[in-house]
Structure 1
Amino acid sequence: MIRCLLLCAAFYATTPFLTAAHAAEDSASSKPNIVVIFIDDLGYADIGPFGATKQKTPHLERMRREGMKLTSFYGAPVCSVSRAQLLTGCYGPRVSIPGVLFPQGPTGLNPTELTIAERLGPLGYATACIGKWHLGDQKQFLPTAQGFDHYFGIPYSNDMQRVAKGGDAPVVPLLRDDKVAELLTDDQQSRIVERYTDEATRFIREHKDGPFFLYFPHTAVHTPIFPGEAFRGKSDNGRFGDWVEEVDWSVGQVLETLEEAGLDEKTLVLFTSDNGPWLIKGADGGSAEPLRGGKGSTWEGGVRVPTLARWPGKIAPGSVCDAVSGTIDLLPTFVCLAGGELPDRPEIDGRDLSEVLLGNSAQSPREAHYYFSNYQLEAVRQGPWKLAVAAQRETMGRGVSRDAKEGGRLYNLDQEIGERTNLAEQYPEIVAKLGRLADQMEAELGGDAPAARRPAGEVANPTPLYPMEARKPKPKASGKKPVALNETVRPEVLSAR
C-alpha cells in the first residue's frame, strides 16, 4: 500500500493545480479516464505492430507510434480465466475460475470479489462494460452486480448458441444491463462490432467530464467469424483478417471520439487480448508466430498476447517494454493511477505497473509469472527464464508433443522465443530456483488442497436467460477416445471442486 501511495503521489505531482477554490474540481479531473479494449482469441502476430501483414491495422499502428508496445504481456489459456484475472487482479485459480464457464451454469465470479469497477466506483468513476462478459450469466454474476453502472453485450462466447423456444435458428442473447434486449442470429452477429462501438463512443461522450472506466471486451475475433458488411473481403487474410480490420476500425473510433472530446491527454487506453489464437480453426484461427502453441496451452503462444498502451503526455511515444506483466496487473495499476489504495487483504497477485507505463522502470514489479492450466501449475517465468514443471499440450484440441511430456524443462525466452531448446542440464541452479517458486505457488493455489484459494460464486437453481428448445440427443460415440480440451471446464465440474 505504501509503495502505491508513493507512486500515485509522484504521478499527481506532475499535474498542476490552479487555485484552492478549484482544488476539488481539479482533483477529480486529474484522475485519468481508463479504457481497456479486450479482444477475444487474438494471437500475438495478428496485428501490424506485432508482425501481421495480411490484415491492415492502421489505428493500432497509431497506438504503437504514440504509446508503448508491451512484448511480454500475459493473459491466460482460455476466456473466462483471463477475464477473471483482468477484473480481480488475481490468477484464475485463486478466485476459483480455472476454465471456461457455460450458459445457465451454477458457477460464476463470486460477488464478494471486488472488480476494477468496484474499486474505481467509490473514487468517482462512471463505469461500463460493453461486450463479452463470460464470468457467469446468472443475474448475481452479471456486470451490473459486479460494480458496473451499465452493461451491453453478449454474456458469453458467440459460439454458445441455442435455439430459442418457438424459433428455428440458433441465437445468442444480447443483454442491456441485466435483461435480454434481443436474440441475435448469425447474420445479426455481423453488426456486433459496430453496435458495441456505437455504445462505447456514446458512453465516452456522455461522460466526457469524467472520470470514467470503460471495459470494452469484444466478441471478435472468436469463432464463428462475422465481419461487418463494410469489411468483408477487404483484407488479404479471409474473413478472419476482415474481422481484425473491423476491430482496428473500432479502435480508431474510440481514439477519434477521445480526441474530439478533448480527452486524449486525460485517458489511458490499453489494447490487449484474452489468450492466444485458436489454432485448430485453421484460417479462422489467427497466428502466434514466432511463439509456440496457441489458445488452451501454457506455451507462450497460448498466453502471451499483443498489447499496446497509449496515454499522450504520460506514456512515451514509440516506447517498447519487455518487462513481464499481464492482465492481473491492471487492477492495482488503475487503482493507483486513480489515487486509490489497496488493502493488504484479500490477496491480489498483480502489481502496479505505473512505473513501467510511465517510463520510470523497465523491470517487472512481480517476482515471477505463473502459468496455470485449470488448477494445474504448468510453468513459471522469472526474467528470461521459463521452467515448465508439467507436460504442456500444444493448443486446445491437440495433445502433448513428444518433447513436452515431462516437467523440468528450462527455456531462455530472450535467446529463443520459440521454446524448443531445453537448457535444464546446463543450468541446474536456475531449475532449482524456479522449482522452489513453483512449489510455493502450487501449494498456495494448485492441486486438490490449496492453502489460499477463494470460492467461486454458486447458484442453487440456475435459469436460462431466455426460453430454449430442448436439446436433441447426441449421436452415440464412435468408441474413439477424444482429445482432452483445456478449453472445456463444465459448470458441474467447477461446482464439484
Structure 2
Amino acid sequence: MTRGFSVIFFGVLVWFCERTKAADNPNIFLIVADDLGWNDVGFHGGNQIPTPNIDALAYNGIILNSHYVQSTCTSSRSALFTGKYSFRLGMQGDSIKAAEKRALPEGKLMPQYFKDLGYETHLVGKWHLGASKWNETPAARGFDHHFGFFNEFISYYDYLSTWRYNDKDFTGFDLRRDGEPAFDEVGKYSTDVFTDHAVKTIENNDVNKALFMTIAYNAAHAANEGKPLEAPQETINNFKHIADSNRRTYAAMISKLDDGIGALVEALDKKGMLPNSVIVFISDNGAPTVGLSRNWGSNYPLRGIKDTLFEGGVRGAAFIWSPLLVQSARVSTDLVHITDWLPTLYSAANGDIGAVDPDLDGIDQWSSLVYDLPSPRNDILINIDEKTRNAALRFYNWKLIVGTSQNGTYNEYYGDTVLDNIEEPSYNTSAIYESPAGRAIRKVNYTPLTEPEYEGLRATSTLKCLPPKAKKNPCDPASGAVCLYDIPSDACEENDLAKYFPSVVRRMKRALVDYRQGLVPQADQEIDIENADPKLFKYTWNPWVDCSDSTCPSPNIG
C-alpha cells in the first residue's frame, strides 16, 4: 500500500468513524420562540427584521412550510411535550394563568423519554404548564435542570409578572434556577440571560453524555402592561427604518433572539458538538398583532392571529437543521404537527419507537425528513374547543373551520398593518453567509450553499395570496358558516369552497365528530390568589398548594 493511498484510506476511515459516531445519540436542541409572527423571519420573505443566524440554519436545513401548532401558549407546549393533541389532555382552551390550579396531566413527557436514553435534560426559559405544586414543575416532569420561569410572561429586565384579579394587581418575581429564585439576574436582558445559560451548559457538558435541551425564549411575548415590549436601546436604534416605535422594539427583540441562536451554534462548534447535533426551531403560535397581549408581530400574508384557527394563528415558522439530514437545503410542504416532535426526535436519538406511548397523536417523521421521503402524515386535527365550539382540521390539501374564537373579532388580515409605508432594507445574503451560524455551518457542511441558493430557497418558502383578479369567495365562521379552503393554492384563506365540495365538507365534519369522542373537557379555571399571592412568598410566584409561606422551599425532586 503506497503512502499516498494510506493517507487517503486513513482520512476516509476517520470520516466514516466520525459519521458513525454522529449517528449515535445526537445532541438535541429544541428552540421555541414565543408569539413569533410568520413574516418576522427573513426566510419567509420579510425584509424588515434581518435574522441572519436563523436564516442560515433554515436554508442549510429543511424549512417546514406546513408546520402546524396550537393557537395558544399552554396548548402548544402541552402538545409538544406529550406528543398528544391538547384536546385529549383538557388543555385546548385558554392558557394557564398565574395563581390558577391547573396543570398538564400526569403522563410521560418528552424529556423523560430522553432520560431513558441516557440524556442529560435541560429546560431553559418558559414552562407555562402548571406550577401550583412542586410536582407540576419541570424538575418533577423529566428535566434534570430548569433555569427559567413558570408562568406565561415576565418582563425582560426585572423578571416580574403582574396579574389583575378582582380589580387588584398582584406582582411577583418569576425566574428560578433549579427551583430557587435567581435574583442575581435582575437588570440583565432575559434573552441574553437565557442564551448565556444555554451556552455555559454546552461549554460544561460532558462530551460523553448526550444533551437534550429545550430553549423556550420569552421573546417575543408581550410582558406587563405599561412596558409590554423591551429591548436594549442600542439594538432598537438599528431599526430606524421602522416608523412605529412598538414595532421597532419588537424588531429589536427578534434581532436579539437571532443573536442568541447564533451564539448557541458558535458554542456547539467550539465544543465540537455541532457535527452530532439536531437543531429544531419553532414558534409556539402566531403573533398577536392586535388585541390581548399585543406584540406588533406580523403573520403577513396569513389570515388571523394568535388564538384563532386561521393560518396566522396556527401555522408556525419552523425548520430543522442537522448534518444527519441526507436531503437538506430544501423547503418541505409536507404536513408536520407540533406533536410529531416527540416521536421524531426520539427516533433521531436512536430510540426504539416501539417504546413510545402507542396512543400518541404525533407521527415519527425522522426518516421522511432525513431522506426526503413522502410524509406519513396526511391530516392534522388543529383543535376542538368545546367551550367556544370552535374546531379546525387539515386533511390532505383541505382545511375545514367550524365556529370561531373571541366572537370572530380577529378573523381578518392584520400582518400588513405593521408593514405599511416603510422603506425596508434590501435582503442581505452576505450577512447570512458571514453570520456566526453561517460560518459554523460551513465547517460541517461539505457542500455549503451559495448566496444565490439562499435567494432561491427564500422565494420557494415565501407565501403569496391569490392574484387580485382571481376568484374569491369570503367566508367568516363567526356568521355560522362552515369554511373550506384548498390551502396549497389558497394559503391566505380567501376563497371558500364549501358549496362546491359538499362531500369533502361532510367527510371532514364526520372526522371532527369522531375526534370529538376523545375530548377531555377543560377544567374550571380556579384562581386561588388568596393562597398564591406572591407577598406570601417574598414577592415571588411560588408553588402554593401544600405551602403556606416563604418557608416552603423547592424540594429535591429532580
TM-score past 0.5 threshold: yes
Indicate if the aligned counterparts of 1:68 and 1:318 stay in contact, CA closer than 8 A: yes
The whole-number CA distance in structure 1 between the counterparts of 2:487 and 2:411 is 23
Letter in 1 for 2:84: C
The amino acid of 1:389's aligned partner reads: V
Secondary structure at the counterpart of residue 238 of structure 2:
coil
Distance in 1 (alpha carbons) for counterparts of 2:536 and 2:219: 25
Q: Does 1:181 align with 2:255?
A: no
Residue 381 in 1 paired to residue 394 in 2?
yes
Q: What's the CA shift string for 1:68-88, capped at 9, x where partnerless?
A: 100010111111111111111
Q: Is the 8 A contact 1:154 1:172 kept in 2?
A: no
Give the partner amino acid of 1:87: F
Aligned letter for 2:345?
F
Q: Where does 1:8-407 land on structure 2 (aligned, <5 Å)?
A: 30-98=24-92, 99-110=94-105, 112-138=106-132, 139-158=134-153, 161-162=161-162, 170-182=171-183, 188=187, 191-207=189-205, 208-223=207-222, 224-235=228-239, 236-237=241-242, 238-280=248-290, 284-340=295-351, 341-343=353-355, 345=357, 347-373=359-385, 376-391=389-404, 398=410, 403-404=476-477, 405-407=479-481
| Residue correspondences, number | 436
Query: Which residue identity lines up with residue 402 of structure 2 in the other structure?
Result: V
Work out the CA distance in 1 between the residues paired with 2:173 and 2:192. 17
Deviation at 1:127, TM superposition (A): 0.4
Q: Tell which deviates more after alignment, 428-437 or 147-156.
A: 428-437
Root-mean-square deviation (CA, aligned residues, Å) is 3.3
Distance 1:181 1:197 in 2: 15
Aligned-partner SS, 1:272: strand
- Residue 464 of structure 1, CA deviation: 3.3
Verify the 8 A CA contact 2:170 2:534 in the aligned structure 1: no
1:463: how far off? 5.0
Deviation (angstroms), 1:154: 1.8
Q: Kindly state the Cα deviation for residue 467 of structure 1 after the two structures are TM-superposed.
A: 2.3
In structure 2, do the counterparts of structure 1 residues 81 and 353 end up closer, same or farther at CA, with 3 Å as the change threshold? same
Give secondary structure in 2 for the equivalent of 1:247: helix
Which range moved further: 329-338 or 340-349?
A: 340-349
- The offset of 1:284, in angstroms, is 3.2
Residues 400 and 482 in structure 2, CA contact (< 8 A), matched pair in contact too: yes
Distance 1:105 1:403, change over 3 A: closer
Q: Distance in 1 between matches of 2:56 and 2:538?
A: 48
Whole-Å separation in 2 of the counterparts to 1:244 and 1:92: 28
- Separation in 1, partners of 2:494, 2:410: 18
Structure 1 residues 183 and 278, CA gap change in structure 2 (3 angstroms): farther
Shift of 1:178: 1.9
| SS of residue paired to 2:360 | coil
Check 1:162–1:344 CA distance in 2 against 1; reply closer, same or farther (3 A cut).
closer
TM-score when scaled to structure 1?
A: 0.80
Secondary structure of the equivalent of 2:175? strand
State whether residues 308 and 405 of structure 2, in contact with CA within 8 Å, keep that contact through their aligned partners in structure 1: yes
Task: Report if aligned partners of 1:299, 1:392 keep a CA contact under 8 Å in 2.
Answer: no
Structure 1 residues 219 and 391, CA gap change in structure 2 (3 angstroms): closer
Distance 2:330 2:254 in 1: 24
Mapped to 2, the partners of 1:121 and 1:456 lie a distance apart of 33
CA shift digits 1:449-480 (9 cap, x unpaired): xxxx9x89999999538426999xxxxxxxxx
Change (3 A) 1:368 1:232: closer
Q: Which of 402, 416, 436 matches 2:490?
A: 416
> How many angstroms does 1:241 deviate by?
0.3
Q: Give 1:253 deviation, angstroms.
A: 0.7
* Aligned-residue offset at 1:279: 1.6
TM-score of the superposed pair, with normalisation by structure 2: 0.71
1:85-143, Cα deviation, whole Å (9 max, x unpaired): 11111111212222210112211112x21111011101100000000110112311111
Give the distance between the partners of 1:438 and 1:254, measured in 2 at CA.
41
> Contact 1:377–1:438 (CA<8 Å) still a contact in 2?
no
How far the C-alpha of 1:421 sits from its partner, in A, is 1.1
